[in-house]
Structure 1
Amino acid sequence: MASKDRMAVLSAMMKQSIIPVFYHPDVELCINVIQACANAGAKCVEFTNRGDFAAQVFLDVTRHFAKADPSVIMGVGSIVDAPTAGLFIANGAKFVVGPLLNADVAKVCNRRGIPYSPGCGSATEIGDAQELGVEIVKVFPGSSVGGPDFVKSVMGPMPWTRIMPTGGVEPTEESLRKWFGAGIVACGIGSNMITKKLLDAKDYKGIEDNVRKTVELAASIKAELAAK
């Protein structure tokens, strides 16, 4: 739909700043968790392709939100090859994220007008991704490739780069201030925010509170940085 075209999705991701990263094999639990994220202001959610029949779970969840809450923007993560990207796009994915850069995935996404954020760990990989039409580059694993210092180093000679780290980003003021201060436009946060304890307890209110606090904290930090 037009409201979820490539540019609208990219804008929503950057405005939201915090992208929940989540997977579970149970459809009902996924729906409850994603609704909690949406209620908290995080309507762009990355569902990771990490289990058997994940594509079917994703399809069921995406079909649900297409009717129940069309404002939810479902993306898929952990995509490493073009056929899998095509499958999830056919099942309703509005953005595609991967742990590595794959040119064939970029081509499929470009052909369908879907944002692609591949995992990159060097300036060369980031440049290669941009050459393939990537607007928001995922830096992965964020803490292992140099953390905020790596982002700063890249942004110096390549200030046009939009970076979204995943891995090593914590939902704390100290962590978010370092990352956004380095110049990122968004970040993916998984089990540090949607914790196993909350999932095991099916504490959806607790998940909503965690996500809302993190989204609001990121917005506050970004506004403060913009005012300087």
Structure 2
Amino acid sequence: MTTIYQKIIDKMTETGMIPVFNHKDIHVAKKVLDVSYQAGVRVFEFTNRESNAFEVFKELKLYSEKYPDLLLGIGTVFTKKDAQRFHMAGADFIVSPALVNEVMQYCHMSGIFSVPGCATITEVWNAKTLGALMVKAYPGNLLGPNFIKSVLAIIPDMRLMPTGGVEPNISNLKGWFDAGVTCVGMGSQLFDKKAIESGDFESLSLRIKEVLNLIQSLKK
């Protein structure tokens, strides 16, 4: 395993939670990145969902360089073309909602950490054979913690990150971490749209801190 891959895995493991966020307004994206970092986030996933996502990401990546220990990756990548252009824009890692061979192959050849989305044992195994060190269990709300246990029972060295439906409460998070996840991805459940629209970033920061502290207590 390369040093950079290990660094990414270590950071994901340490915080236990990867915020998943997208917004078409760069000013909002910068503010959310700031409060996330201040709350303790060290790995942040911006998603390729808005029509101007590439432009926003490029500017956000440059902005994020004021935090030298922050890793900024891109999610919702379905094509080699998108993987290539976001890689060239400085993405530290690439996440896909599905297992896309051309994306995995590009990332492997280019030396960029890739996290494919998987929903079956077959997909997890295929991802492993393509070089994946971590997979995104997606959609998490449909798969549940029992899927995590089943995967780890037969592929124990695979790191798993459920995303989609992960809730910021003790019962939900305890279920995931007891099952053996490395970290969780959290988007709409973490980022209150009303708080963002009203500019209440202080409450957003407090919410992120609470979730990170809760995860740390479950990992002890």
Give the TM-score normalised by structure 2. Answer: 0.96
> 1:7 is aligned with what amino acid?
Q
The Cα shift of 1:172 comes to 0.6
The Cα shift of 1:103 comes to 1.4
Residue pairs, 1:21-60, within 5 angstroms? 21-60=20-59
Who is 2:180 aligned against? Answer: 183
After superposition, give the CA deviation of every residue in 1:48-74 in whole Å (9 maximum; x if it has no partner).
0001121010000111111x2222211
CA distance in 1, matches of 2:22, 2:40: 19
Q: 1:135 aligns with which of 117, 133, 136?
A: 133
CA distance in 1, matches of 2:41, 2:75: 16
4+ long deviations beyond 4 Å: none
Residue pairs, 1:191-210, within 5 angstroms? 191-210=188-207
CA distance in 2, matches of 1:16, 1:151: 19
CA distance in 2, matches of 1:21, 1:209: 17
CA distance in 1, matches of 2:168, 2:11: 19
> 1:215 is aligned with what amino acid?
L
Is 1:158 the equivalent of 2:161? no
The Cα shift of 1:30 comes to 0.4
Aligned length: 218
Who is 2:89 aligned against? Answer: 91
Q: Describe the SS at the equivalent of 2:131.
A: coil
CA distance in 2, matches of 1:70, 1:91: 16
The Cα shift of 1:11 comes to 1.3
The Cα shift of 1:220 comes to 1.0
CA distance in 1, matches of 2:200, 2:86: 28
CA distance in 1, matches of 2:137, 2:113: 15
Who is 1:63 aligned against? Answer: 62
The Cα shift of 1:159 comes to 1.5
Q: 2:164 aligns with which of 160, 164, 167?
A: 167
Q: Describe the SS at the equivalent of 1:185.
A: coil
Q: Describe the SS at the equivalent of 2:107.
A: helix
CA distance in 2, matches of 1:160, 1:5: 18
Who is 2:6 aligned against? Answer: 7
Q: Describe the SS at the equivalent of 2:140.
A: coil
> 1:186 is aligned with what amino acid?
C
- Is residue 165–residue 189 contact of structure 2 (8 Å, CA) maintained in 1? no
Overall identity of the aligned pairs, in %? 34
CA distance in 2, matches of 1:94, 1:10: 12
- Is residue 141–residue 165 contact of structure 2 (8 Å, CA) maintained in 1? yes
> 1:155 is aligned with what amino acid?
L
- Is residue 5–residue 113 contact of structure 1 (8 Å, CA) maintained in 2? no
CA distance in 2, matches of 1:41, 1:113: 27
- Is residue 24–residue 53 contact of structure 2 (8 Å, CA) maintained in 1? yes
- Is residue 10–residue 115 contact of structure 1 (8 Å, CA) maintained in 2? no
Who is 2:15 aligned against? Answer: 16
The Cα shift of 1:7 comes to 2.0
